Amino acid sequence: MNQKWRYTLLILTTLASLSSVAVTLYVALLIEIKLSIGAVVIAIFWIVWFKQTGWYFLPEKFRSKILKYLPFYRQ
C-alpha cells in the first residue's frame, strides 16, 4: 500500500469516527442526554483503533517526530 492510500484511509476513518460522534451528540441533545455515552464509546473505540492500527499508517519519520514532543515518551 503506497503512502497516498495510507493517508487517505487514515483521513477517511478519522472523518467517519468524528462524524459518528457528532451525529450521536446531536441526537443526544435532541432526544436525551444519556445518548452522549454512545459518543464516548465511539470515541474510545476510535482511539483504540488508532493506537492499534491507524498509528502505523503514518510514516516512521512522522511518528518519531510526534513521539519526540510527548512528555511521557523516553528513548
End-to-end CA distance of the chain: 29
Q: What digits encode the pLDDT tens for the residues 18-62?
A: 888 888 778 777 777 666 677 777 788 887 877 777 777 777 887
Residue 13 burial (10 A CB sphere; 0-12, 13-18, 19+): middle
Q: 74 in a domain, yes or no? A: no
Residue-level pLDDT at 6 = 76
In-domain check, residue 75: no
Cα 73 to chain centroid, rounded: 20
Tell me the CA distances in angstroms from 15 to 11, 20, 40, 65, one per residue in order.
6, 8, 16, 23
Number of compact structural domains in the chain: 1
Q: If DSSP codes are grouped into helix, strand and coil, which group holds residue 39?
A: helix
Residue 17 lies in a domain: yes
What pLDDT, on the 0 to 100 scale, is given for residue 1? 59
Instruction: Determine, yes or no, domain membership for 10.
Output: yes
**Domain of residue 9, residue span:** 3-69
Question: What is the pTM for the complete model shown?
Answer: 0.45
Q: Binning pLDDT at 50, 70 and 90, where does residue 72 land?
A: low
Query: Quick check: is 16 in a domain?
Result: yes
| Cell 476510535 -> residue | 46
Looking at residue 27, its pLDDT comes to 78
Residue 55 lies in a domain: yes
Is residue 64 one of the residues assigned to a domain?
Answer: yes
* pLDDT of amino acid 10: 80
